[in-house]
Amino acid sequence: MIKRLAILGVGLIGGSFALALRRAGVVETVVGYGRSAANLATAQRMGILDAVATTAALAVQGADLVCIAAPVGAVPGLLAEAAPALRDDAILVDVGSTKQGVIAAARVTLETHTHTRIAQFVPCHPIAGAEDSGAAAARAELFHGRAVIITPLPENAPATLARVTALWQACGARVTEMEAVHHDHIFAAVSHLPHLAAFALVAELASRPEAETFFLHAGSGFRDFTRIAASHPEMWRDIALANRDALLTELDAYQAQLATLRTLLATNDRERLSELFARASHARRSLTLTLDKS
Amino acid sequence: MIKRLAILGVGLIGGSFALALRRAGVVETVVGYGRSAANLATAQRMGILDAVATTAALAVQGADLVCIAAPVGAVPGLLAEAAPALRDDAILVDVGSTKQGVIAAARVTLETHTHTRIAQFVPCHPIAGAEDSGAAAARAELFHGRAVIITPLPENAPATLARVTALWQACGARVTEMEAVHHDHIFAAVSHLPHLAAFALVAELASRPEAETFFLHAGSGFRDFTRIAASHPEMWRDIALANRDALLTELDAYQAQLATLRTLLATNDRERLSELFARASHARRSLTLTLDKS
């Protein structure tokens, strides 16, 4: 049982985490801290929060579980603000889409203070993004059937990992573990690059004088392809910068593939164009089968 | 009333067109021709076709309406095969995603024969694609509420255009008119480029040794972004080549935008990265509002 849960950044993920733990009956009191007073008021109205704190330090005071659910760029600052008030037996989790940067920041902050230890921090990544953001989008079922990846630290005690795993499972999630570096590499390819590619396509079209006419004729294919371009700009800027090296590698591979495709098109290479499209179509259809099962 | 409808290429679009006209009660007999005997047998079993013809010429013999619904690369060949047997008062429509190439091919073929005229051909583009293809995917409701764009020729008689418009409306579609060159320009941007971009991303990932691991961690964002990469490879090869010039222009604009994004990322330009993402997110959210209304 969690006596007091502190949520730093009460958005879609942080809000849903609180709601899911409440519904599972494993949390008593939830205190929230965030930048937007209006958002925190919404969270209180929705029953996500019992109380709103005016600083990160006040939010974590006395908390046995702290969840940092702000955009990854804001995490180091929040950690620094919260650390002096953190209980020495509190468990700290984050929910960021990139892990190495957050781990490095947590290591510095928690080891700087004499009463806190990096072992308290369990890096987590729930795979449950959505275009909607803010507390208003939060719901108790968000993690139901979704994957949560934990990238454990060598310092984490088995009991701490087991406790965090059980909490995510109480939210209905399937928990797996992975090395942080491997995590960041994989998600650069299957999440961060697609977001960048969708942002780029929509930004390019939107910058044209005839943008309205283009969007007017967008069909379901365009709609699906660009859905993630509606995502939260600051959140994705932070993710892109936090996972910059892996993302640049992916972006280069993607641009090289586009350049190849351009050559095939410009030289009328029907055969190799078919091959490339067929390889993609086959892989994507296999993926549909896999996803349908999950 | 259509006495005899000939469908050349009985796939998702051609099959759905026949089913929709049947349900509307405006067609008596439907004859089909296509490359795959198995697909034609499916179409007959599904009640799409009353009869299967062994050549395009036999299919159009005596038909008052002919619908060419093959991949755009196969249209010139089908036109040439069918033209000698075409009635001089038959109306001919196509359903291709690009219009200028098909119009040029039809002009040559129909004016070569003394008994046919380009005025008989009405170029159409129903915006109702899907990843599924073949007769098995056809359904009478496919065009319900969808847009159909007609790119009329100067030679088309108003009565012919009115007849074709009425047929699509009988299928439940909203019909609009547009210049062919304008059509090809717009769809290069909002349809053909996104398909290319999705094919490129999936093909690139699929070519890696650790592809399975990547796909295993694909979330809903990746799924949406790449859904169109499951599309029919030959159909899209044909579309890409048929609309090559407009598509190369779009591809270049997209690559330039990706290169800009790469620079912002590599130089840690938080502010301009936020601006670019925010422009895309805002435009995509406006689009959601528009699409929700349509």
> What tens digit of pLDDT does each residue of B117-141 get?
999 999 999 998 766 789 999 999 9
Q: Indicate whether B40 and B137 sit together in one domain.
A: yes
Is B280 within 8 Å of A202 (Cβ atoms)? yes
> What tens digit of pLDDT does each residue of B266-291 get?
999 999 999 999 999 999 998 876 65
The three-state secondary structure class of A52 is strand
Q: Give the pLDDT of residue A220.
A: 84
Q: Indicate whether A191 and A258 sit together in one domain.
A: yes
Segment B191-219 shows an average pLDDT of 93
Its sign, for the CA torsion B142, B143, B147, B148, is positive
Considering only the beta carbons, identify the residue of A199, A204, A291 that sits closest to B223.
A291
Contact B190 A282 (CB under 8 A): no
Among candidate residues A178, A201, A224, the one where a domain is terminated = A178
> Which candidate, B80, B88, B70, B124, places its Cα nearest to that of B105?
B80
Contact B199 A237 (CB under 8 A): no
> What tens digit of pLDDT does each residue of B147-158 get?
999 999 999 999
Going by the DSSP 8-state scheme, the letter that residue B245 receives in this structure is H
Q: Indicate whether B165 and B64 sit together in one domain.
A: yes
Nearest CA in chain A to B213: A186
Based on the structure, what is the number of domains in chain B?
2
Among candidate residues B154, B178, B202, the one where a domain is terminated = B178
Nearest CA in chain B to A185: B214
Chain B partners within 8 Å of A74 (Cβ): none
Q: Indicate whether B27 and B111 sit together in one domain.
A: yes
Top residue of B199, B238, B267 to mutate, by most chain A CBs within 10 Å, is: B199
Among candidate residues A178, A202, A217, the one where a domain is terminated = A178
Q: Indicate whether B45 and B133 sit together in one domain.
A: yes
Q: What order do you get walking across the sheet with A2-8 strand by strand?
A: A51-52, A27-33, A2-8, A65-68, A91-94, A121-122
Q: Indicate whether B156 and B222 sit together in one domain.
A: no
Q: Indicate whether B173 and B30 sit together in one domain.
A: yes
> What tens digit of pLDDT does each residue of B216-229 get?
888 888 999 999 99
Contact A227 B231 (CB under 8 A): no
The three-state secondary structure class of A70 is coil
Q: Is the ipTM of this complex over 0.95?
A: no
User: Residue A136, CB half-sphere, CA atoms under 13 Å: how many?
Assistant: 8
Contact B283 A211 (CB under 8 A): yes
Nearest CA in chain A to B294: A216
Q: Indicate whether A230 and A96 sit together in one domain.
A: no
Q: Which of A120-134, A195-209, B66-80, B251-265 has the lowest mean pLDDT?
A: A120-134
Q: Give the pLDDT of residue A293.
A: 45
pLDDT tens track of chain A, all 294 residues?
A: 999 999 999 999 999 999 999 999 999 999 999 999 999 999 999 999 999 999 999 999 999 999 999 989 999 999 999 999 999 999 999 999 999 999 999 999 999 999 999 999 999 999 987 667 899 999 999 999 999 999 999 999 999 999 999 999 999 999 999 999 999 999 999 999 999 999 999 999 999 999 999 998 888 889 999 999 998 899 899 999 999 999 999 999 999 999 999 999 999 999 999 999 999 999 999 887 665 444
Is A51 within 8 Å of A31 (Cβ atoms)? yes
Segment B231-260 shows an average pLDDT of 95
Residue A78 maps to which CATH number?
3.40.50.720
> Which candidate, A201, A264, A282, A293, places its Cα nearest to that of B207?
A282
Considering only the beta carbons, identify the residue of B225, B240, B258 that sits closest to A265.
B240
Q: Indicate whether B153 and B251 sit together in one domain.
A: no
Q: Indicate whether B168 and B185 sit together in one domain.
A: no
Considering only the beta carbons, identify the residue of B203, B213, B277 that sits closest to A257.
B203
Q: Indicate whether B261 and B225 sit together in one domain.
A: yes
User: Residue B226, CB half-sphere, CA atoms under 13 Å: how many?
Assistant: 31
Q: Give the pLDDT of residue B290.
A: 63
Segment B105-116 shows an average pLDDT of 94
Residue A255 maps to which CATH number?
1.10.3660.10
Output the average pLDDT for chain B: 94
Q: Give the pLDDT of residue B292.
A: 47
Q: Indicate whether B287 and B234 sit together in one domain.
A: yes
Chain B partners within 8 Å of A201 (Cβ): 193-194, 197, 254, 257, 280
Question: What's the predicted TM-score (pTM) here?
Answer: 0.86
Range of the domain at B260: 181-293
> What tens digit of pLDDT does each residue of B4-51 get?
999 999 999 999 999 999 999 999 999 999 999 999 999 999 999 999
> What tens digit of pLDDT does each residue of B45-57 get?
999 999 999 999 9
> Which candidate, A103, A107, A113, places its Cα nearest to that of A152?
A103
The residues, any chain, with a CB within 8 Å of residue A92's CB and separated by 6 or more, are A66, A68, A86, A106, A110, A120, A121, A122
B1 strand-pairing partners: none
